[in-house]
């Protein structure tokens, strides 16, 4: 049983270091389009597009998905400030970068899936970053 | 030669996890990570092989379940 969330940016012209600079943290996975970013049992895995992905897994110790999402929002809106947002939006606009928020939750049989708070949805919509739910139970 | 044990969109069944000798929770977690790294969503179809390999719907390798546990 567990939950976590990611903040993911993608685009053919994405340069990972630009996002790292604005958000001030190292991603879990980052690569440019065409880069080999992983070797699996001798097979090279190349990026079909550029990608920058930060995960709350291992950074937030909570079974509440909203705590994980709050953590990610804190990177874009540190202490509630909005000064990073225009920089991020300009980068996304200039380089045709999209953002989304993949959310993972796995519960016991019969467990109720989490509900993402409206204020969290609104904040991610400002980026804009769509919340993508991967919820399931045993 | 590895054999396909899952070739559908969505989350694999408990039987797939059993074939790999892991829990369904472990399998779901691993698949989410593998898919997230290639900009796939939960409904995107992947192919799972009995050696733990995961490939996309064009047959390109994108990860291995055992590397994510």
What's the whole-number mean pLDDT along residues B13-41? 94
Domain total of chain B: 1
State the ipTM, two decimals. 0.91
In this structure, how many other beta carbons lie within 10 angstroms of the beta carbon of residue A24?
A: 10
Does the distance separating the beta carbons of B61 and A106 come in below 8 Å?
no
**Chain B residues with CB within 8 Å of chain A CB:** 11, 24-25, 28-29, 32-33, 36-39, 41-42, 51, 53, 60-64, 67
With contact defined as beta carbons under 8 Å apart, do A98 and A10 qualify?
Answer: yes
**A1 pLDDT more than 80:** no
Alpha helices in chain A (DSSP H): 16-23, 65-76, 84-94, 118-126
A67 CA to centre of own chain: 14
State pTM to two decimals.
0.94
**A68 pLDDT more than 80:** yes
Please tell me which residue, A72 or A137, carries the higher pLDDT value. Answer: A72
Quote the domain boundaries for residue B53: 4-68
Does the distance separating the beta carbons of A2 and B62 come in below 8 Å?
no
Q: Tell me the per-residue pLDDT of A87-103, one tens digit each, with 9 for 90 and over.
A: 999 999 999 999 999 99
How confident is the model at residue A8, as a pLDDT? 98
The answer to whether A63 contacts chain B (CB < 8 Å) is no
Does the distance separating the beta carbons of B37 and A51 come in below 8 Å?
yes
Q: Tell me the per-residue pLDDT of B35-53, one tens digit each, with 9 for 90 and over.
A: 999 999 988 999 999 999 9
């Amino acid at each position: 049983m567990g939950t976590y969330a990611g903040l993911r940016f993608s685009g053919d012209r994405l340069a990972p270091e630009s996002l790292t600079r604005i958000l001030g943290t190292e991603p879990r996975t980052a690569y440019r389009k065409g880069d080999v970013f992983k070797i699996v049992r001798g097979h090279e895995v190349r990026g079909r597009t550029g990608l920058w992905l930060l995960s709350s897994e291992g950074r937030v110790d909570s079974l509440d998905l909203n705590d994980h999402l709050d953590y990610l929002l804190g990177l874009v809106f540190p202490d509630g400030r909005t000064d990073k947002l225009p920089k991020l939006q300009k980068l996304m606009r200039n380089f045709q970068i999209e953002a989304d928020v993949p959310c993972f939750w796995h519960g016991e049989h019969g467990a109720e899936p989490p509900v993402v708070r409206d204020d969290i949805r609104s904040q991610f919509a400002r980026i804009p970053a769509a919340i993508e739910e991967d919820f399931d139970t045993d | 030669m590895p054999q396909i044990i899952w070739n559908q969109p969505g989350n694999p069944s408990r039987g797939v996890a059993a074939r790999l000798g892991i829990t369904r929770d472990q399998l779901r977690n691993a698949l989410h990570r593998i898919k997230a790294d290639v900009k796939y969503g939960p409904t995107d179809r992947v192919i799972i092989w009995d050696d733990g390999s995961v490939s996309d719907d064009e047959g390109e390798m994108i990860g291995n379940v055992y590397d994510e546990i």
